[in-house]
A and B are shown apart, each in its own frame.
Chain A
Amino acid sequence: MIKTLGTEDTLENAGLSAEEQQLFSNARPRAYEPYPIKAVEDFANWARANSLWILAFGTGCGAIELRPLMTARFDANRFGVAGRPTPRQSSVFVIGGYASVKTLKRIIRSYEQMQGPKFVIALGICPVNGGMYFDSYNTVNRFDQYLPVDLYITGCMPRPEVLVAGIMELQKKIKAGRCDGANRYVENFDWYKANQKKVIKNWDMPDYNW
């Protein structure tokens, strides 16, 4: 059942045809306050930090560094890290290196389908400044203009040890309550959306993929 809301808090969904607009929700995402009691929020953050489910979506060459994480040598299961095949259930999105415009569209779709609080790790130098693809015609240079990033792990390519260290750093940040990328995305939604639409020419999906 699709809920169609009033005009004040809805999205245009201009990229869709009139027929398709009936099929997608036009609700605007909203930011979420932490729990009013600090102890509850800290406990929730502890649980979130110790159960990081990584979306199994290899978005660039760095995806190859994600595979050894689960093997006997690195065994990220020890830290509560697990792979999850569906964005609905995962909480961490690892951007594995360069994001081409074509992939960016899929990254946005997957990111918006993840349930908050959700965290983004940018792996490698490419999401920071473009890296070796800085003058490529189809690669975005600064990734944080398109989606909020919680943690950068630079290098080309960073080895899995560095990724494990980064995940532990992310856990520290989550426990301290400093990872609110999902809220930042919603608060600056129009700015992010304008940036995304500037590079993605064939925008044929809803403005927010519920």
Chain B
Amino acid sequence: MILEWLGKVGNFSLTMLIVTLYGLLVGAFIERVIAKVQGRIGIPYSQPFINILKNFFKRTAVSHGYMFYLGPVFRIAGGIGTLAFIPVIYGSEMFSNFSMAGDLFLVIYFMFFGQLGMALGAGESGHPYSAIGIARGLSQMTAYEVPFALAVIAIVIQYDTLSITEIVAAQQGGWQHWTLFTNWVATLAAMLAFLGMTGYSPFDIFLAPQEIPIGPPTEFHSAYLSLLQTNRALFGATKLILFMNLFFGGATGWIELMIKTLLIYMVAIVVGVAFPRFRVDQGIRFFFKIPTLIGIMSIIYVQLVLIS
């Protein structure tokens, strides 16, 4: 029993390592794509790794209190917790993590958890711009969670299960079984929510480096920042894997996973390099209008067309 459990933890650690490394590489690749659009060469692929090392090797660090320490810890706990309950590779015992019946609920909860922990930590730092960044970030998150939750409810009704593994299993047997093609309305709502989730333009007001110095992590530095950067890569890749599992048929191998997640990410990048930034009130209005309507329509679509 204990050996089996230890083996599972070992497998999960390996998954976490691969996903984090992949997330950092994808981050560098995306930076280079954006640089090419702007006519530049861009950062080397090793840059995200060097940045994390540099911050780790800083000699000094200032604390603002206990909650300030715990902010990045909660954040990375949210990232690890989200990954822990997502089956990464379909059909692989080794990379199915702690997936179980009803893990979709847990995953959605954990996605929220990290943000709230970060809000507490950044609030403790006492920097006014952190508070503004958090107010903007949380309000935008509340807005994009609505279409995402509606899309998830739609596919839960469609496949009649709360287990991500079963949702992936239902999409096997050819691309025409993917949620993208069987329930394109829900996928559209979720992909619009995905634009807000990734934090690229036009929904990057909460990070706004020039107006409110980098937003919530303004005061985080040294090892705290390297923890946050690691989480950014891990959590970003985890969200991509979740979207791939729910809407794009999952993956049966690492190569398929990488191709699919990269293409999903490119949606946010193509929109990001082409559009300027929304103000926070514009962003919230946008999410509450079209994507929410599409989300409601997806449930009606499932109920009227797919089930009956």
Contacts and interface: CB of A to CB of B under 8 A. Distances in A.
Interface in B203-237: 209-210, 213-214, 217-222, 225
A5 interface: no
B57 A80 contact: no
Contacts of B44: 78, 80
A115 B62 contact: yes
A86 interface: yes
B303 interface: no
Interface residues of A, number: 26
Interface string A71-106: 110010110100111101101000000000000000
B282 interface: no
A1 interface: yes
Interface stretch (B9-17, B34-42, B75-83): B34-42
A77 B43 contact: yes
Interface in B1-44: 31, 35, 38-44
A75 B214 contact: no
A83 B40 CA distance: 16
Nearest to B225: A89
Interface residues of B, number: 34
A116 B221 contact: no
A93 B51 CA distance: 17
B40 A88 contact: no
A129 interface: no
Contact of B60 (A47, A77, A78, A115): A115
Contact of A85 (B31, B42, B209): B209
Contacts of A77: 31, 35, 40-43
Interface of A: 1, 32, 44, 47-48, 50-51, 56, 71-72, 75, 77-78, 80, 83-86, 88-89, 91, 115-117, 182, 210
Interface of B: 31, 35, 38-44, 46-47, 50-51, 53-55, 57-62, 65, 209-210, 213-214, 217-222, 225
